[in-house]
């Protein structure tokens, strides 16, 4: 049994990844401040375990804490060593992720995302833990001309959030070089994760009005909001609405397990990998698929373009497929079905 430290493990992607790791028999130490999540997610993970005849309670240690606090991180590493279950690797999800908020309050983002990450890397270095999978984002590419974004596509973040992700990747690269290339690092550049676990017990839980398309569609379909505003109908795309690469969150979770396996089995390296499906879907296609699969109306109207939006973001995911021996298995219909199941079973999230 290997022990992994999961920062931000109560969040949307973190909780699904924890479940995938637990199924593989790993021990997890989760640190989360719950600034954008609920601790109740753990009870749901245990419940899924019981349904599947597993008892994940023994595999999880939860610490409510902030990675900006170095002393907490230090204690986590020391305690694990004393228990003779040293931390073999880290998946680093903890971060703030709202683009607009990062424009309004950049210091909050630099402090939380970058300073928090530096603390984590310092603690890892001090306690000889040098395997890390980092939650990066396709947002670091900005608005390049290419139809499919490759890992070597120009990096040009368009907002403070994107810059924090790019900066953390850069810090990791510097650590890798300065450590005489002893670290094993995977920067996973996520495209647009949506959907939920098929049980309907865990899913995305925006604490405020959602900014993102998919949770907003769910709430319109649930009649929390009257209609979806589609931001722009005059983009240079096949139906005039923006295109994104949506990936089922469980496929994304499995990519993390594959990345950890890869790092453990291979020589030290630093990898940048696009984690998407390689398939572009327009906003209108998303709305239509959601309506059709779930047999529910999603009223919408067209509005002005959202500032800072980019017409098309689709992954070239060949490097990830080849390196990780992983591929996304769930299509758009499954994303819509599972996301809707989560919405109707949990209209108040984890409360």
Q: Does 37 bind ligand NAD (CB under 6 A)?
A: yes
Burial 166-183 (b: 16+ CB within 10 A, else e): bbbbeebeebbeeeeeeb
Task: Please tell me whether residue 94 binds ligand NAD under the rule CB under 6 A.
Answer: yes
Judged by CB under 6 A, does residue 166 bind ligand NAD? no
Closer CB to ligand UDP, 23 or 305, in the complex: 305
Separation between Cα atoms, residue 193 and residue 204, nearest integer Å = 10
**Residue with CB nearest ligand UDP?**
242
* Secondary structure class of 166 (helix, strand, coil): helix
**Binding partner of residue 306 among ligand UDP, ligand NAD, none, CB cut-off 5 to 8 Å per kind:** ligand UDP
Residue with tokens 């995302």: 113
Which partner from the list ligand UDP, ligand NAD, none does 150 bind, CB cut-off 5 to 8 Å by kind? none
Asked if 197 and 322 count as a contact pair (C-beta separation under 8 A), the reply is no
Residue 212 makes contact with ligand UDP by CB under 6 A: yes
Least distance from ligand NAD to the Cβ atom of residue 76, Å: 12
Region near ligand UDP per CB under 6 A, out of 67-75, 79-87, 100-108, 225-233: 225-233
To the query of whether residue 300 is one of the catalytic residues in this protein, the response is no
Q: 21's torsion region: left (phi>0), alpha (psi -120 to 50) or beta?
A: alpha
Which of 174, 143, 172 minimizes the C-alpha distance to 156? 143
Q: Considering the rule CB under 6 A, would residue 137 count as an interface residue with ligand NAD?
A: yes
Q: Which member of 3, 112, 187, 274 binds ligand NAD (CB under 6 A)?
A: 112
CB of 309 to ligand UDP, least distance (A): 5
Asked if residue 205 lies in contact with residue 214, where contact means CB atoms within 8 angstroms, the answer is no
Number of residues located near ligand NAD, criterion CB under 6 A: 29
* CA 256 vs CA 28, 78, 82, 122, 253: distances in Å: 14, 25, 27, 22, 5
Among 3, 20, 27, 33, indicate the residue that binds ligand NAD (CB under 6 A): 33
Listed ranges 8-16, 72-80, 222-230, 236-244: which one lies at the site for ligand NAD (CB under 6 A): 8-16
87 binds ligand UDP (CB under 6 A): no
From ligand UDP, ligand NAD, none, interface partner of 339 (C-beta below 5 to 8 A by class) = none
Query: Which residues is 342 bridged to in the sheet?
Result: none
E strands within the chain?
3-7, 27-32, 60-64, 87-92, 131-137, 184-190, 192-194, 228-231, 243-244, 246-248, 269-275, 281-282, 300-303, 312-313
The answer to whether residue 190 forms part of the interface with ligand UDP (CB under 6 A) is no
Binding mask of the shown chain, residues 182 to 221, with x at each position contacting ligand NAD by CB under 6 A: --------x-xx----------------------------
Instruction: Please choose, out of 164-172, 223-231, 249-257, 268-276, the segment that lies near ligand UDP by the rule CB under 6 A.
Output: 223-231
Binding mask 56-75 for ligand NAD (x = CB under 6 A): ----------xxx-------
Helix, strand, coil shares of the chain, percent, nearest 5, are 40, 20, 40
Considering only residues 136 to 155 of the shown chain, the ones binding ligand UDP according to CB under 6 A are none
Q: How many chain residues interact with ligand UDP (CB under 6 A)?
A: 15
- DSSP annotation string for 286-310: HHHHHHHHHT----EEEEPPPTT--
Choice among 46, 56, 161, 216 that is catalytic: 161
Among 31, 48, 132, 283, the residue binding ligand UDP under the rule CB under 6 A is 283
254-260-265 Cα angle (round to 5): 125
Do residues 16 and 46 touch, judged by C-beta distance below 8 A?
Answer: no
d(CA 142, CA 162): 8
Q: Is the dihedral of CA 26, 29, 34, 36 positive or negative?
A: negative
Which residues are near ligand UDP by CB under 6 A?
Answer: 192, 211-213, 216, 228-231, 242, 244, 283, 306, 309, 313
Which residues are near ligand NAD by CB under 6 A?
Answer: 7-8, 10-14, 31-37, 66-68, 93-97, 112, 116, 135, 137, 190, 192-193
Q: Which residues are catalytic?
A: 161
């Amino acid at each position: 049994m290997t022990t992994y430290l999961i920062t931000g493990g109560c969040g949307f992607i973190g909780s699904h990844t924890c479940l995938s790791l637990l199924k593989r028999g790993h021990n997890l130490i989760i640190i989360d401040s719950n600034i954008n999540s609920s601790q109740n997610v753990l009870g749901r993970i245990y419940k899924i375990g019981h349904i599947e005849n597993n008892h994940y309670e023994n595999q999880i240690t939860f610490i409510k804490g902030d990675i900006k606090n170095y002393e907490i991180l230090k204690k986590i590493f020391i305690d694990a060593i004393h228990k003779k279950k040293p931390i073999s690797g880290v998946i680093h999800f903890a971060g703030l992720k709202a683009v607009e908020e990062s424009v309004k309050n950049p210091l909050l983002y630099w402090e939380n995302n970058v300073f928090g990450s530096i603390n984590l890397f310092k603690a890892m270095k001090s306690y000889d833990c040098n395997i890390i999978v980092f939650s990066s984002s396709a947002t670091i590419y900005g608005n390049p001309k290419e139809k499919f974004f490759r890992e070597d596509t120009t990096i040009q973040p368009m907002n403070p959030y994107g810059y924090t992700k790019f900066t953390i990747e850069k810090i990791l690269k510097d650590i890798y070089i300065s450590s005489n290339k002893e670290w094993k690092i995977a920067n996973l550049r996520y495209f647009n994760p949506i959907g939920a676990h098929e049980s309907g017990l865990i899913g995305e839980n925006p604490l405020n009005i959602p900014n993102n398309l998919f949770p907003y569609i769910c709430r319109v379909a649930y009649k929390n909001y009257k209609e979806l505003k589609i931001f722009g109908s005059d983009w240079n795309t096949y139906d005039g609405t923006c295109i994104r690469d949506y990936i089922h969150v469980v496929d994304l979770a499995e990519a993390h397990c594959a990345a950890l396996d890869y790092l453990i089995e291979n020589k030290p390296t630093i990898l940048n990998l696009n984690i998407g499906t390689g398939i572009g879907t327009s906003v209108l296609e998303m709305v239509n698929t959601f309506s059709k699969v779930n047999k529910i109306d999603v009223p919408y109207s067209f509005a002005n373009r959202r500032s800072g939006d980019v017409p098309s973001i689709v992954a070239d995911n060949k490097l990830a497929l080849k390196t990780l021996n992983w591929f996304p298995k769930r299509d758009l219909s499954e994303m819509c079905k599972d996301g809707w199941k989560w919405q109707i079973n949990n209209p108040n999230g984890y409360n």
